[in-house]
Amino acid sequence: MIVRKNMSVKQTSLRISVYMQLALDGIAAVVFLLSWLASIKPYVVILGLMLLSLANTFLCGHYLLRDLKRHLPNEEYQRLAARYFPYGSHWLWVLLQYRQLRDMTGETGRLFLRIWLRTMGLIAGSMLGIYLLFLLLMFLL
């Protein structure tokens, strides 16, 4: 639970993306272990896991906008939506406009943006880890 100055904000929707990425990492670990033990190269499975992780990043953008809409005052959300969310829930657009968005929003919005950025970092690091482990596994087998 996130608590900020007498304001209690329930867990954000972004926790779903974190749980999903942890599940994908667990599946990737099992696939790596089984492929190492069986001496096979699981190209299709790893590609599928990478694509699911990429889809998870798109869901993060959707969850961020949903959380901002739910927890920000209506006037503040409408101002941000008109200026920074013209293309819907595209996470790349939000990432490119992160500094401007952070400066335009209040304390609650900045809190959600920090949580979102950390979640995106977790997913990106996880995708990089899966890719590097796959390259290592490919060269060892």
Mean pLDDT for the stretch of residues 115-127: 88
The DSSP bridge partners found for residue 8 are: 3
Rounded CA-CA distance 45/37 in Å is 16
Average pLDDT over every residue of 96-118: 84
pLDDT band at 9, cuts 50/70/90?
very low
3-state secondary structure of 141: coil
pTM of the predicted protein model:
0.76
